[in-house]
Structure 1
Amino acid sequence: MTVVAIAVFVIAYVLIATEWTHKLLAVLGGAGVLFALGVTDSDHAFYSPDTGIDWDVIFLLFGMMVIVGVLRRTGVFEYVAIWAAKRAKGSPLRVMILLTLITATASAFLDNVTTVLLIAPVTLLVCDRLGIDPVPFLIAEVMASNIGGAATLIGDPPNIIIASRSGLTFNDFLLHMTPLVAIELLVFTLVLPWLFKGSFTVDPDRVNDVLRLNEREAIEDRGLLIKCGVVLLLVFVGFIGHSAFHIEPSIVALLGAGVLVLVSKVPTRAYMSAVEWQTLLFFAGLFVMVGALVRTGVIADLAGWVGGATAGHTLLTAMLILVVSALLSGVIDNIPYVATMSPVVLELTKGVTDPAHSDALWWALAIGADFGGNATAIGASANVVVIGLALRAGHPISFWTFTRKGVVMTAITILVAAPYLWLRYFAFS
């Protein structure tokens, strides 16, 4: 069964990477084969928290897609697009920097999937106004989202899993992860002109047209905008305080979507058409395939190897966790990877007497998984969402278009993170 699970995953991954077939067909076909051969079953695929579909992710996405569908009817995305273009004086590079910094900051306080769902429509509109290709901008934003989301406990789903296993608090993440994220964002901003070289040419006439626009005229329904604003505020409060309220973000998103649909009285077709059904099904199939790897012990064996390869040398263990987490989180979604790896790290910390060294193992896991999610098109949930939105808007992002940039950025962020870990937790601890 182990061999079958690995073979199915590898074949599906090759099909996605080479684009020989549609990625949805690849993952659903792979999931179907696993069901047919008995590698997984309905109990493990639909009900198990360890090996099944993460319904919290699915319904969080669904709820936010409905909210965005209603919000789009207000004209607020057009407003923000014009505002951003005017503040950047029509410069594509300045627009990219502005939008990526907004994305990174928002991702620290919301989950990164929610952030990209809100920012992507703005990006598509501002690029349309300027007559430039939105693909580099969308890729840059999703990278910024994965980097920015690492700053807090609630910003990136792997951080929530790590906090529950390690006992680290919201303030711990602020003190230990936020300084590194600030450094990484500075490096990311400096790298942008080189990483997306050739993406910043714009017609001066289009710039002048945008600068003459009045963003206030873009708002089409102020009453609906107020209703959306109130509901979104309540949803964001729910996201930030979900641990205190004892309610999952997915439930918050569904409740927010339900309330907004009721008070807005928007036609059903208007908001349901905004739901990215292909993206939701892709996630479901991917969760089934990764769950099969978890069930057959493949991921646990890989994680266990990390612990045995360093012979108790804490600094070497931390660096190995960092690198392996970055590599594996680029191949499989970082959520199931962290769910599997966190018990291994917990065992490793039991033999460490220095608290700083012990915490370093957890921070290495968080950094590697969060930043490693940028490596490929399926490394993090936000990546898949943005690619689905781009395809729907008529700007497809291929697996390799994303991955060529993602691998470079992941390497840079890990190279910056390694000395941070060494200096803060070993050299000067």
Structure 2
Amino acid sequence: MTEFSQGPALWQAIAALIIFVAAYICILIEKWDRMYTALGGAILMLLLGIVPIGKALTTYANWHVLLFLVSLFVIAGLFQKTGLIAFAASKIIRVFRLQPFTILIGLSVLAAVSSALLNALLAIAVIVPILLKTTKMMKLSPVPFLISVLLSANLGGAATLMGNWSNRLIGAAEHITTGEMLIKIGPLVVLMLAIVYLAIWFLYGRKMIIPETYKREVLSLQPETYLTEDRVQFIGGNAIAGATLLAFLLQGILGWQASYIAAGGAVALIALNYQDLIQLFKKRDYRSFWSGVLETQGLFFLGLFIMVGGLTYAGISGFIAVRGLELSQGSMSFLSMLLLWLTGFGSSVVDYVPYTAAMIPVIEHIGTEMQSFSQTSIQPLWWSIIIGTAIGSGVTLFGSISSMYAAALAEQEGGGLNPRNYFMIAGPISLVLFIVATIYFKLFLL
């Protein structure tokens, strides 16, 4: 393993794998708070010298992503005070006349399209709070809605270069274009979305029933009653949220970091609600303040990033990927299929961004080696990475930042979406998607 490792000894690489697996299992069984589990695993890796503390805090602890996530949590929490999310949820219920599965499909398709045009995380940040409020009003479990929306966001993001970070990394290396992606991957994405919705209907469709008496009660409520009567809060909150969303949409033109845009919106909303903050400190209610800090999940993500970084630094991901690729013995067809499934497995366990970043130079090296004895195009390998990460990132809640963010939002609302019950549904669906993608690959992409 040392030829793939950047520094640690063999025992440290093995220790990194054991620590990560142990932490992963602890998070799954939910015996302890996942924040303490992630931080504990990260600290243990640092103490054992598996990853240098300097590298952990500068390279693997992605501060831009952390700032972005924490800011989104603050925005989501404070924006709810305007009542606009509850208003939107009530409107959706009335428009679709309390047809839960129709609402599920509508929100899921919106998530897929938004992910393709913007990015999955931004789509989730906008849609999930409305989803949670809508299901709460209908007295239905948000779990099937969340699973459908998360799978849709991950799959929809695969259709364009801007849809997810994996595509952006590959596009930045000038390996494929947006036009090629839409032509080659677009039909597969539509097919997989249809399979997801069919599976959700088969599993939950007949259970999404609302009693007639409750239907009348919900439909009798006027959406306007959910809006706050505080005009300063309503106008100010909506103006700040609108300006933040507009800045996200114009990010390419403005050239601003997404994390700074989100942080600006969060600070503005905190300033709008400064009286609540003053009251908190006047009462010396530091427990509530600390509880609010924990709810942002920033420390959980920090610990998780460092643990994933420890695996990368120890060479685990590179070792598994390269050894797996060696099994192909030069066959592009076998190599593409193997990489598709290997990528799916890798991105289901850890966030797909570091995995993709590690695999790009490996594939480039394979291309150089193959061109020395044949003129075979390596483009199918890029399709393997894109499709593999799109499906694999939906297998577990740890496959993408957007999934982890949605799970944290659901936890705040008591939504009941935990890693175990998510995997029990998303895992089998994703397996079917991998089989379909493999057949599509064989027929159209090789």
Tell me the TM-score normalised to structure 2 length: 0.86
Q: Which residue of 1 aligns with 2:311?
A: 293
Tell me whether 1:249 sits opposite 2:258 in the alignment: yes
Once the two structures are TM-superposed, the CA of residue 288 in structure 1 deviates from its matched residue by: 0.8
Q: Deviations over 1:76-114 (max 9, x none)?
A: 211221122122221222221122112222222222222
Q: Which AA in structure 2 matches 1:422?
A: K
Q: Which residue of 2 aligns with 1:302?
A: 320
Report if aligned partners of 1:231, 1:260 keep a CA contact under 8 Å in 2: no
Tell me whether 1:410 sits opposite 2:430 in the alignment: yes
Tell me whether 1:397 sits opposite 2:406 in the alignment: no
Q: Which residue of 2 aligns with 1:39?
A: 50
Once the two structures are TM-superposed, the CA of residue 402 in structure 1 deviates from its matched residue by: 0.7
Q: Which AA in structure 2 matches 1:36?
A: L
Tell me whether 1:53 sits opposite 2:61 in the alignment: yes
- Give me the whole-angstrom Cα distance separating, in 1, the residues matched to 2:296 and 2:267: 22
Q: 1:392 to 1:257 in 2, by over 3 A?
A: closer
Q: Deviations over 1:159-205 (max 9, x none)?
A: 22222234434444334333322222222222221133554122222
3-state SS of paired residue (2:64): helix
- Give me the whole-angstrom Cα distance separating, in 2, the residues matched to 1:176 and 1:22: 43
Report if aligned partners of 1:326, 1:410 keep a CA contact under 8 Å in 2: no
- Give me the whole-angstrom Cα distance separating, in 2, the residues matched to 1:130 and 1:259: 33
Report if aligned partners of 1:319, 1:418 keep a CA contact under 8 Å in 2: yes
Q: 1:225 to 1:295 in 2, by over 3 A?
A: closer
Match of 1:203 among 198, 202, 211: 211
User: Bigger CA drift: 167-176 or 105-114?
Assistant: 167-176
Q: Which residue of 1 aligns with 2:393?
A: 373
The gaps in structure 1 that reach 5 residues or longer are none
User: Bigger CA drift: 314-323 or 417-426?
Assistant: 417-426
- Give me the whole-angstrom Cα distance separating, in 2, the residues matched to 1:58 and 1:121: 20
- Give me the whole-angstrom Cα distance separating, in 1, the residues matched to 2:271 and 2:33: 36
- Give me the whole-angstrom Cα distance separating, in 1, the residues matched to 2:390 and 2:98: 32
Tell me whether 1:93 sits opposite 2:105 in the alignment: no
Q: Which residue of 2 aligns with 1:179?
A: 187
Q: Which residue of 1 aligns with 2:14?
A: 3
Once the two structures are TM-superposed, the CA of residue 64 in structure 1 deviates from its matched residue by: 2.2
- Give me the whole-angstrom Cα distance separating, in 1, the residues matched to 2:109 and 2:278: 34
Q: Deviations over 1:354-383 (max 9, x none)?
A: 999422211110110121011112121122
Tell me whether 1:20 sits opposite 2:28 in the alignment: no
Report if aligned partners of 1:66, 1:274 keep a CA contact under 8 Å in 2: no
Q: 1:369 to 1:336 in 2, by over 3 A?
A: same
Q: 1:200 to 1:117 in 2, by over 3 A?
A: same
Report if aligned partners of 1:133, 1:199 keep a CA contact under 8 Å in 2: no
User: Bigger CA drift: 161-170 or 145-154?
Assistant: 161-170
State percent identity of aligned pairs: 26
Superposition RMSD on alpha carbons, in Å? 2.7
Q: 1:73 to 1:341 in 2, by over 3 A?
A: same
Q: Deviations over 1:128-148 (max 9, x none)?
A: 211112222222222221112
Match of 1:334 among 349, 352, 360: 352
- Give me the whole-angstrom Cα distance separating, in 2, the residues matched to 1:79 and 1:73: 11
How many residue pairs match? The answer is: 420
Report if aligned partners of 1:374, 1:380 keep a CA contact under 8 Å in 2: yes
Once the two structures are TM-superposed, the CA of residue 277 in structure 1 deviates from its matched residue by: 4.1
Tell me whether 1:223 sits opposite 2:218 in the alignment: no
User: Bigger CA drift: 4-13 or 113-122?
Assistant: 113-122
- Give me the whole-angstrom Cα distance separating, in 2, the residues matched to 1:2 and 1:98: 45
- Give me the whole-angstrom Cα distance separating, in 1, the residues matched to 2:305 and 2:237: 36
The gaps in structure 2 that reach 5 residues or longer are 1-11, 280-289
Once the two structures are TM-superposed, the CA of residue 226 in structure 1 deviates from its matched residue by: 4.7
Report if aligned partners of 2:161, 2:168 keep a CA contact under 8 Å in 1: yes
Once the two structures are TM-superposed, the CA of residue 259 in structure 1 deviates from its matched residue by: 5.0
User: Bigger CA drift: 191-200 or 400-409?
Assistant: 191-200
Q: Whose Rg is larger?
A: 2
User: Bigger CA drift: 68-77 or 260-269?
Assistant: 260-269
- Give me the whole-angstrom Cα distance separating, in 1, the residues matched to 2:330 and 2:121: 37
Q: Which AA in structure 1 matches 2:439?
A: P
User: Bigger CA drift: 17-26 or 35-44?
Assistant: 17-26
User: Bigger CA drift: 273-282 or 397-406?
Assistant: 273-282
Report if aligned partners of 2:240, 2:265 keep a CA contact under 8 Å in 1: no
Match of 2:338 among 316, 320, 326: 320
Tell me the TM-score normalised to structure 1 length: 0.89
Q: Which residue of 1 aligns with 2:406?
A: 386
Q: Which AA in structure 1 matches 2:350?
A: I
Once the two structures are TM-superposed, the CA of residue 329 in structure 1 deviates from its matched residue by: 1.0
Q: Which residue of 2 aligns with 1:424?
A: 444
Q: Deviations over 1:5-56 (max 9, x none)?
A: 11111111121222232222221111111111111222110112xxx11222
Once the two structures are TM-superposed, the CA of residue 291 in structure 1 deviates from its matched residue by: 0.8
3-state SS of paired residue (2:250): helix
Report if aligned partners of 1:116, 1:382 keep a CA contact under 8 Å in 2: yes
Report if aligned partners of 2:244, 2:261 keep a CA contact under 8 Å in 1: no
- Give me the whole-angstrom Cα distance separating, in 1, the residues matched to 2:193 and 2:105: 10
